[in-house]
Amino acid sequence: MNELDKLLIKVNRQFETCFETIKVAGKELKFLQIANMKEYIEKVTESNKIELPYWAKIWEGSIVLAYLISKRELHNGECLEIGAGIGVAGLFAAAFGYEVTITDIDEYALLFARISAIKNGLDVNIKRVDFTKDNLNHKYDIILASEVLYKEDTYVPLINFFKAHLKEDGLIYLAKNRKIKAEGFFNELERDFSFSKKEIGLRSGENKYIIPVYEIWLKRRNSD
């Protein structure tokens, strides 16, 4: 029995799963998903558990980040995805040629990401990291973050994490829900970073989404 089969047996003890295909810039990857998400959430709710499996959702912002990575002129360097969930953006970055580290705090999210990496034949580093308190003691060319601004008390720790892990000439791609203003985050961010914003449209079936995306870089990058 190979590693993929062993991991699938482990995860299928907890979830009913399937693989979903996502295509970005001509590349197709398969991602492990909870097959009966609606029923699973109802079951979790009925059991009075507080934590819902938000990590398992394929967020539109992560697909947009994958698209932006695909459009970069050079597909190399070290890339870190934080709050990755199942690692959509990070795995596409690996498929486009980056050396990728995928991180999250949820062990099942990391397990799903590992299974998807193996399924797609991608070599990535997957580890548990809490960006509000952990330090990897390493700096990256690119940091990817989607849907990480939903808790105000994480804003300052997140910015500190960015400062500790972004190379001087590095770039952060951050996508968020339009409903989340996160004014406190951006006000604090301006102390040490510059940033620009764009809105990117994404169509999924009959639905169309507009995703705000920020490119963020250290201010000292331009201090010559």
pLDDT tens by residue, 165-196: 999 999 999 999 999 999 999 999 999 999 99
pTM score, whole prediction: 0.92
Domain that holds residue 89: 3-222
Q: Do 55 and 110 form a contact (C-beta atoms < 8 A)?
A: no
Helix (H, G, I), strand (E, B) or coil at 211: strand
Question: Distance between CA atoms of 221 and 54, rounded to whole angstroms?
Answer: 35
Instruction: Tally the domains of the chain.
Output: 1
C-beta contacts of 206-210 below 8 A and 24+ residues apart: 209/60, 210/178
Q: What is the CATH number of the domain that holds 41?
A: 3.40.50.150
| Cβ atoms within 10 Å, residue 187 | 10
Give just the sign of the alpha carbon dihedral 8, 11, 16, 17: negative
Taking 60 as the threshold, does the pLDDT of residue 221 lie above it? no
Please give the angle made by the CA atoms of 149, 39 and 127, to the nearest 5 degrees: 45
Residue 136 CA to its chain's centroid (Å) = 17
For residues 64-91, give the mean pLDDT: 94
